[in-house]
Amino acid sequence: MRLLFIGDIVGRAGRAVLLDNLPKLRDAWSLDCVIVNGENAAGGFGITETICADFLAAGADCVTLGNHAFDQREALVFIARQPRLIRPLNYPRGTPGRGANLIETASGARVLVINLMGRIFMDAMDDPFAAIEHELAACPLGAGCDAAVVDFHAEASSEKQGFAHFVDGRVSLVVGTHTHVPTADHQILPQGTAYVTDAGMTGDYDSVIGMEKEEPVRRFTTKLPVTRFEPASGPATLCGVAVELDGKGLATKIAPVRIGGRLSQARPDFWETI
């Protein structure tokens, strides 16, 4: 099975590079499943129903979220009727939407998609380690699903790494999101789970984590907010990871993906390039 995970879409520039490239990548790489983190897609803060629909129409099988999941108030309503939009599983009981879902792809594969949020330097959340145990008991890899992907939305690299080792061999991929900087530690863990600490953002890297530079720099130097944060609007880089799985749903290959914009370009050398 071939998976593509695309990191945090930031603003209009991020949406444009995703929508321009995803249909071509889906066809050229014969992808079975594409997962996109969309929590910064609407002006850098949250997601709207229209934007979510655009991502799904372009070829995403599922859209995950994070700490900005409900910044757009309409998400409180439409998330309940969109089963392919996944918010963090460890939000408190009663939060609208779902934190995991079994997605059947066009190729017939059953992919369990789980979104979790870390707790170090983040808002107080339920325990992500306990939450994943419950979910994997209900839908184990190889029995309940053909693949299992966890978007672990967290600040601390230690928490992301610890979580990945905790589920090694029980999920196909643990991919970190939230910090908006692609890390170079993509690897396959000893028991067969693919891992990267952060997939990076899909947005303009001539910025401060996707935002126009002036206001963040001003706040760092003066501690005074003057204007609201606005997403940078220059040429964007599509960032993510490509993963190939064996018949048991464990990883055999992983590679970074970086297309367009300012960053050095990267494509998986184990698939036909475009």
Catalytic residues: 68
Chain centroid, CA 248 distance in Å? 23
* Cα atoms in the Cβ-side hemisphere of radius 13 Å centred on 157: 12
SS3 35: strand
- The answer to whether residues 83 and 107 touch, using CB atoms and an 8 Å cutoff, is no
Cα R_g (the chain), whole angstroms: 17
Residue 131 CA to residue 27 CA, distance in Å, equals 35
Three-state DSSP state, 214: helix
Nearest to 60 by CA among 49, 70, 52, 68: 52
